[in-house]
Amino acid sequence: MSDIKVSKRGKRLEVRSAGPLPGIKTIPGWYQTTAGIHTLPLSLETLTLLRVQYGNRIELATELQRWERTASQFRTSMAKLATQVDAKLHNLPRLAPKLAKAMRARKYQRTGSRFIAETDVTGVFDDPGLGKTLIAMGGILEGNVEGPYLIIAPKTAARPVWEREIRRFLPSNHRAVVLPEGRTERSKRLRLTRMTPSTWVIVHPEMCLVKSHYRCTEPVRWQKMKRNPMIRRPVECGHIEPITKRRMPVMMGCKHERSRRTERVDAASYPRLFTVEWGAIVIDESHDSLIVGKRLTQRRNGMAALQLRSGGKRLAMSGTPFNSKPEQLWGTLNWLDPDQYPAYDRWVSLYWEKGGYTGYEIGALRPEREQMLWDSLNGIA
């Protein structure tokens, strides 16, 4: 008998039951709104855990059934595409004949480019030397996405890899812009660069730094206007609180609470990078650039602030194993799809064992949920 009703409410699941639900607190992301009503993250993994916990007692609402069917079909189709030996590319032979010709001998590259063309966010994780750069360029062009494109890569890959491959395999109208050394020269070159649909801007990760802080705007006293003493204006606190943690405390150093009135100020090292709406943003060596720990770095803050045009593509590339470090993998997934991966602790609790002296130390990957982790990545990697 179905006595547990599950429905979709925005980006959450709403679970209703007349009686108690033992074990629901063990599902990551749970909290209770009122008596008999619980909410959980909206994901296929959450629905799986609910079915394991309660079996046939669950009844899904019609809208949730449609969402589950669509999400499952997409994930299955992308997993099938990723395992294909070859894939057909329709636009690339016309847009970049040299690149299409270079992929003839490597079927897996065509499969990778087809995967990128079918999705808005993609993680390309493969061994070094297998042509991730060609796969990325091919997928962007096959997806018929116009530039400008932003490539964030280490210095060792900027000119020797990206600039060389763009000049070698793409038509002459595609222009690779590698910024010079020196802050003044970089700013000038970036300011004078004409952003066209065929421009590839290649920058170092340190150029994406964004320093953020909160500015307290709470009134501390009232000041009379000189021209009209009858009118008084508030004098704001003005306290500056640097944002250095992923979860900032509500109480700031000035003893005022952070609220909607509190002003957030972001200062970018190279503001031009953040005013352009990019057709595609590619982050090479993402395991290093996108890592998220307890402290929020200026680099990671800047990566999230970059603007992507509607219909554009996010690509994260890495040829380095994540070495069983959840913060490296989650940092990449969070940048690719922040709606699906909004909370690090919740995600870790879902797949990893936690314990130790504090009870929060991350242990080994849960054997019974390892396949669930890999299945969750089918539509993105």
- How far apart (Å, rounded) are the C-alpha atoms in residues 235 and 219? 5
Query: What is the structure's pLDDT at 202?
Result: 94
Q: Domain-by-domain residue ranges, the chain?
A: 4-77, 84-209+269-342, 211-266
Reported pTM? 0.84
**The two three-digit tokens of residue 258, written as one number:** 């952070």
Query: What is the structure's pLDDT at 85?
Result: 78
Query: What is the structure's pLDDT at 170?
Result: 94
- Give how far Cα 243 sits from Cα of 6, 23, 256, 269, 328, Å: 38, 36, 16, 16, 21
Residues contacting 191, CB < 8 A, separation 6+: 272
Cβ atoms of 141 and 176 within 8 Å: the answer is no
- Give CA torsion, residues 49, 51, 52, 53, to 10 deg: 90
Name beta bridge partners: 175.
Answer: 199
Q: Is 210 helix (H, G, I), strand (E, B) or coil?
A: strand
Q: Is 161 helix (H, G, I), strand (E, B) or coil?
A: helix
In which residue are the tokens 């812009």 written? 177
Query: What is the structure's pLDDT at 324?
Result: 59
φ and ψ of 59, to 5 deg? -130, 120
**The two three-digit tokens of residue 11, written as one number:** 């980006």
- How far apart (Å, rounded) are the C-alpha atoms in residues 115 and 218? 50
Query: What is the structure's pLDDT at 323?
Result: 58
Classify 84-209+269-342 by CATH class.
alpha beta
Number of neighbouring beta carbons within 10 Å of residue 182: 10
Query: What is the structure's pLDDT at 240?
Result: 82
Examine residue 234 and say whether the peptide bond preceding it is cis (omega within 30 degrees of 0): no
Query: What is the structure's pLDDT at 94?
Result: 93
Query: What is the structure's pLDDT at 96?
Result: 92
Cβ atoms of 195 and 278 within 8 Å: the answer is no
Helices (H), ranges, the chain:
44-54, 62-82, 92-95, 97-102, 107-118, 132-142, 155-157, 164-169, 183-192, 272-275, 286-289, 298-305, 326-336, 344-351, 370-376
State the maximum Cα–Cα separation within the chain, in Å, rounded to a whole number: 82
Query: What is the structure's pLDDT at 254?
Result: 84
Query: What is the structure's pLDDT at 358?
Result: 66
- How far apart (Å, rounded) are the C-alpha atoms in residues 38 and 168? 56
**The two three-digit tokens of residue 360, written as one number:** 């929060």
Query: What is the structure's pLDDT at 152?
Result: 94
- The pLDDT profile of the chain, 381 residues, written as one tens digit per residue, is 578 888 888 888 888 888 888 888 888 888 777 777 888 888 888 888 888 888 888 888 899 999 989 989 988 888 888 888 788 889 999 999 999 998 888 888 888 899 999 999 998 887 766 788 999 999 999 999 998 999 999 888 888 899 999 999 999 999 999 988 888 888 889 889 899 999 999 999 888 888 888 888 888 777 776 667 677 777 788 788 888 777 777 888 888 888 888 888 888 888 899 999 999 999 998 888 888 776 777 888 888 889 999 999 999 988 766 655 788 788 888 889 888 888 888 888 888 887 777 666 777 888 888 888 888 888 888
